[in-house]
């Protein structure tokens, strides 16, 4: 395709004439087609859906004089065919997703040290409950919670609340530790 091509008023008028002989109907069809193209590109995860829709319309407009005499049927279908090709080109030129940056090992080490220190500050009963809640292997979490609640003689809801409060205390302790330590 000619990269230096730009849409002229004559080209746009020819496009509208191809869409419908009545100018107002042609304008409405144009807007419907453009809106549909944007939805198609957005649905396929394209970030620049409007630009791709405009590129599709421009490509059809460039060829309008060649195709209008031979084309039969709904013009929107021609646009959708061109949109499919534009989308395939988009996929080829789309830069690959960059992997997330590697974790900061110094920060991870600090968080781990803070976690260990804060777990040690918990009461022995709270520490044991937390470790039993999250450290047991083999059983599902629901089975583990049920057995733990029965062993402690409390309801499942009371167990959840107790574990939530311990975790909240632990989280606050870790945040204070991280804020107080230089990285």
Q: pLDDT tens digit string along 27-69?
A: 899 999 999 999 999 998 888 899 999 999 999 999 888 888 8
- Range in 8-22, 30-44, 51-65, 137-151 with the lowest mean pLDDT: 137-151
Q: Which CATH architecture has domain 105-180?
A: Orthogonal Bundle (1.10)
Residues 6+ apart with CB under 8 A from 132: 144, 148
pTM: 0.50
Q: Where are the domains of the chain?
A: 9-93, 105-180
Distance between CA atoms of residues 139 and 127, nearest Å: 20
Question: Which has more pLDDT, 69 or 178?
Answer: 178
Cβ(56)–Cβ(79) below 8 Å: yes
């Amino acid at each position: 395709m000619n990269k230096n091509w730009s849409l002229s008023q004559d080209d746009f008028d020819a496009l509208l004439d191809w869409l419908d002989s009545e100018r107002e109907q042609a304008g409405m069809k144009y807007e419907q087609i453009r809106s549909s193209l944007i939805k198609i590109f957005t649905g396929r995860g394209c970030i620049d859906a409007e630009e791709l829709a405009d590129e599709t319309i421009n490509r059809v407009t460039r060829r309008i004089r060649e195709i209008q005499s031979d084309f039969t049927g709904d013009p929107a279908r021609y646009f959708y065919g061109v949109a499919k090709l534009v989308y395939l080109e988009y996929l080829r030129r789309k830069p690959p997703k960059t992997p997330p940056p590697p974790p900061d090992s110094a920060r991870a080490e600090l968080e781990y040290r803070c976690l260990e220190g804060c777990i040690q500050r918990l009461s022995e009963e709270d520490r044991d409950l937390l470790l039993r809640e999250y450290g047991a292997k083999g059983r599902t979490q629901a089975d583990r919670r049920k057995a733990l609640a029965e062993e402690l003689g409390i309801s499942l809801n009371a167990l959840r609340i107790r574990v939530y409060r311990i975790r909240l205390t632990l989280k606050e302790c870790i945040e204070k530790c991280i804020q107080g330590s230089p990285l």
